[in-house]
Amino acid sequence: MPIRFIPKPQSRPGLVAYLTVGDPDLTTTRDIALAAIDAGADVIELGVPFSDPLADGPVIQRASERALRHGTTLGDVLAIAADLRRQRPDSGLVIFSYFNPILRFGLERFCSAAEQAGVDGVLVTDMIVEEAGEYLASLERHHLAPIFLAAPTSPDERLKRIAAVSQGFVYAISRTGITGTQQSLATEAEALVSRLRRYTDLPIAVGFGISNAEHFAAVGEFADAAVIGSALVRIIEQDIERAAPQEAPSSIGRFIEGLRTGPRAPVLQVR
């Protein structure tokens, strides 16, 4: 069955952790993901490195460049997913990609391989709901949950369409623009979540710019989960810059544990 996240009253937010696969290398990516899960991440987003990541800020762009220099492929991402599914069978696993790598791999082939690997859902950042017919049909055949991005600038009719086809959760972008950490959360995020709740009872995860425990707690006041990406990737980058990439798993684990030390417990479970 596709992923289904179950909100628990007064125990939010859940945590969705993004990692660029292959940065700094495949083995370390796996170890980082395991450390993140063990520290409290409910869902791991496995980012497929891409040469032209227009929606991503400089931190994730650099991570993609490093991963591609190592020769990381979509097949490698799927192999990491299969390994994580074997080792942490109850964790949520989402493939996060641009459409081009999937198109080159073959949409049907990708969906079949993702199903075999135990992937729960797929988020294609440049896939728009209005043009997603074939994509959605292939995901449905292979029991994969489609996850779409909802932006503050999206009109209500578009939010309604996104809500209608989404499974697992809806990803609400906290602000327009590219990914990256920021000092404070955009006020647009809460308003967007409120608008989305008119159209869905799925959990809503807020991402783009969440980078510390204060942000994490603030998101829990109005959303079901927080997506943290650039902050994690930057921690990994700092360990690479210190010539200590082997320390990245423990660095990520400590960071996530720090987010979890407040009064809020995980809200999301996978079944």
- Is residue 56 part of the annotated active site? The answer reads yes
Residue 211 confidence (pLDDT): 87
* Residues 189 and 155 sit within 8 Å (Cβ to Cβ): no
- 25, 31, 38, 45: the catalytic one is 45
* Residues 144 and 114 sit within 8 Å (Cβ to Cβ): yes
For 96, the enclosing helix (H) or strand (E) is: strand 92-97
Residue closest to 218 by CA, chosen among 174, 268, 153: 174
Cis peptide before 24 (omega within 30 of 0): yes
Among left, alpha and beta (phi > 0; psi -120 to 50; other), residue 179 is beta
The domains of the chain are located at: 14-259
Residue 174 confidence (pLDDT): 79
Q: How far apart are the first and last CA of the chain?
A: 8
With vertex at residue 18, the alpha carbon angle to CA 15 and CA 24, rounded to the nearest 5 degrees, is 135
Residue 6 confidence (pLDDT): 41
| Main-chain phi, psi angles of 14, to 5 degrees | -80, 170
Residue 12 confidence (pLDDT): 63
- Is residue 45 part of the annotated active site? The answer reads yes
- Dist CA 242 CA 252 (whole Å): 15
Mind listing the pLDDT tens digit for each residue in 239-256? Answer: 999 999 999 999 999 999
Series of mean pLDDT values for 10-residue runs along the chain (271 residues): 47 88 98 97 96 85 96 98 96 96 98 98 96 97 96 95 95 65 64 96 91 90 94 96 96 93 44 28
- 56, 76, 190, 239: the catalytic one is 56
Angle formed by the axes of helices 133-141 and 107-117, nearest 10°:
30
For 16, the enclosing helix (H) or strand (E) is: strand 14-20
Residue 168 confidence (pLDDT): 92
**14-259 fold:** TIM Barrel (3.20.20)
Mind listing the pLDDT tens digit for each residue in 2-49? Answer: 454 544 444 568 999 999 999 999 999 999 999 999 999 999 999 999
Residue 186 confidence (pLDDT): 54
